[in-house]
Structure formats: structure tokens, C-alpha cells
């Protein structure tokens, strides 16, 4: 019976039970896409990452329980952590070949730093029904990349959000981030993605490729601290670069190691 190693890592957290859990499955060679999707559905985490080494580069793919996605930050962080801390990777910089181009991850103090392409949000009118689906009385503005960024002024509303996920799934975007300025960090947010099979992602690294450029411009900063989540939270550091990239840093912790039997 074929067996695969599985690691479940809490990304953007210094200890288990925080941040965002991701499954990481190292492979010797690619399995059929249908098998990858079935494993992700069985894991029932927001992301399962699969990694195959090809010389100096690691091919990396990410699956929600429903679909394969183009970019996932927390599962990239989790994969890099497994390669560095569990599988003995000796490189100074890990290079990943992905559907979003080459991504690089390096050690940064007691965490890891990921180099991602930044996305510039574009202002749009708030579509009918969006605020109602989120349970918000009003919003300051709305911006769009592959997500909607709904900007509000009161961070105290963030924790209490209880969206209508069926209504949110009708909007033709990957997900919806609700974000506000914070007294504890530069900004806070929550991210909802029922359209891609993830009602709420506790900490979404890829969403910060849009959130960081917005808040950097608004606050006049190139280095920002952020926190995402409701009952479960994680912390990120975002550094905007002049080359159109954003470096997203955080810690990770191993929750479990197991075996998949196929």
C-alpha cells in the first residue's frame, strides 16, 4: 500500500493552536491531480501543499478542499518550514516553482521570509448586497485585485463579523478581505473565501500581497505589522520593495506528523 508523509503546520504562529493550519505532503513525483484533490478534501484544511524537488528548485502546488489555487502564503510558509526544520534543507534560500512564478523563502531571525509579487488594489464601487452579506452597516471604500478588499474604520467590528457565506459566494472574486486600522498593529483583517471552498481562512498570506500595498500607501510605510483572524489569529510582517514585490514574514509550529495510506 503506497504511503506518504504528512505534516500539519500552524503557519504565522510561534506555537501550535494559533495562526493558520496547513498540510504539507512531500512527494517524489507528481500524483494524478484527482488524487491530490481527494487528499486535500480528506485533510479538510484550507490548504494542502504538495512539493516535489527538481534539482535546485522545488515544484509547489496548493489545493483547498475544493480547487487548486494560484497562490497560498501560509502553506508556502508551512512547506518551507518543513523543508528547513524536518527534512534538512541546507539552502540559504528555498526556490519554489509555482503557478504564480518563482517564489523564494529564506530564514529571517526566528521566522521565515517569503518574497511574493505585490498586487496593486484598484478602487471600485461597492457592489449591491456585499455589505449585507458581510453584516456590515457601512464601509469606507472597496478595492479589488483577485479579492475584494473592504476597508472599514472600526477595528472592533472585525472580530464580530459573521458573514452569510452563501451570499458571499455569489461574488465573482477569489475571496473577500475586511480590513481596518489597528491600535495594536498597523492593520487587522479577516478573509472569507466560500467561492474557493474556504468559508474563512484564519491567516491568508496571499491576501497580504494586496493588503500591504494598500496600507503601505495609506500609512506612508514600507514595513507594516499585521494581524488576521477572528477567534484564531496570526501575525505577519510585511515589507514593500521597490521592485514590485512584498516580503511577508512569520513563524510556524509543527502540530502533527502522520502517514497517508493510499
Nine-digit cell string for 200 = 474563512
Task: Select which of 47, 155, 200, 239 is catalytic.
Answer: 47
Residue among 175, 224, 225, 219 at smallest CA distance from 201: 175
Give Cβ neighbours of residue 205 (< 8 Å, ≥ 6 apart): 11, 12, 72, 73, 74, 76, 77, 114, 116, 236, 248, 250
Active site residue 124: no
Q: Is beta strand 93-98 parallel, antiparallel or unpaired with respect to 57-63?
A: parallel
Question: Is residue 58 helix, strand or coil?
Answer: strand
Q: How far apart are CA 49 and CA 112, in angstroms?
A: 17
Q: How far apart are CA 224 and CA 185, in angstroms?
A: 8
Residue among 199, 202, 208, 207 at smallest CA distance from 232: 202
Q: Is 188 exposed, middle or buried (0-12, 13-18, 19+ CB in 10 A)?
A: buried
Helix/strand/coil percentages in the chain, nearest 5: 20, 45, 35
**Quick one: DSSP state of residue 53?**
E
The residues that are catalytic are: 47
Amino acid at each position: 500500500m503506497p504511503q506518504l508523509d504528512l505534516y500539519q503546520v500552524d503557519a504565522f504562529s510561534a506555537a501550535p493552536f494559533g495562526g493558520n493550519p496547513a498540510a504539507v505532503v512531500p512527494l517524489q513525483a507528481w500524483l494524478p491531480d484527482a488524487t491530490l484533490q481527494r487528499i486535500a478534501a480528506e485533510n479538510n484544511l484550507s490548504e494542502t501543499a504538495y512539493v516535489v524537488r527538481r534539482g535546485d528548485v522545488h515544484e509547489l502546488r496548493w489545493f483547498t478542499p475544493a480547487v487548486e489555487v494560484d497562490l497560498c502564503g501560509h502553506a508556502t510558509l508551512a512547506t518551507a518550514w518543513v523543508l528547513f526544520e524536518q527534512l534538512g534543507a541546507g539552502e540559504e534560500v528555498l526556490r519554489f516553482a509555482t503557478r504564480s512564478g518563482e517564489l523564494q523563502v529564506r530564514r529571517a531571525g526566528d521566522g521565515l521570509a517569503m518574497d511574493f509579487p505585490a498586487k496593486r488594489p484598484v478602487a471600485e464601487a461597492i457592489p449591491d448586497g456585499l455589505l449585507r452579506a458581510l453584516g456590515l452597516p457601512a464601509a469606507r471604500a472597496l478595492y479589488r485585485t483577485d479579492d475584494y478588499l473592504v476597508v472599514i474604520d472600526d477595528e472592533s467590528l472585525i472580530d464580530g463579523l459573521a458573514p452569510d457565506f452563501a451570499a458571499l459566494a455569489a461574488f465573482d472574486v477569489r475571496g473577500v478581505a475586511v480590513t481596518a486600522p489597528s491600535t495594536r498593529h498597523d492593520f487587522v483583517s479577516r478573509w472569507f473565501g466560500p467561492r474557493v471552498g474556504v468559508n474563512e481562512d484564519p491567516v491568508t498570506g496571499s491576501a497580504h500581497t494586496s493588503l500591504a500595498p494598500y496600507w503601505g500607501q495609506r500609512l506612508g510605510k514600507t514595513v507594516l505589522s499585521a494581524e488576521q483572524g477572528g477567534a484564531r489569529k496570526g501575525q505577519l510582517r510585511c515589507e514593500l520593495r521597490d521592485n514590485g514585490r512584498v516580503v511577508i514574514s512569520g513563524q510556524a509550529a509543527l502540530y502533527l506528523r502522520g502517514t497517508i495510506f493510499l
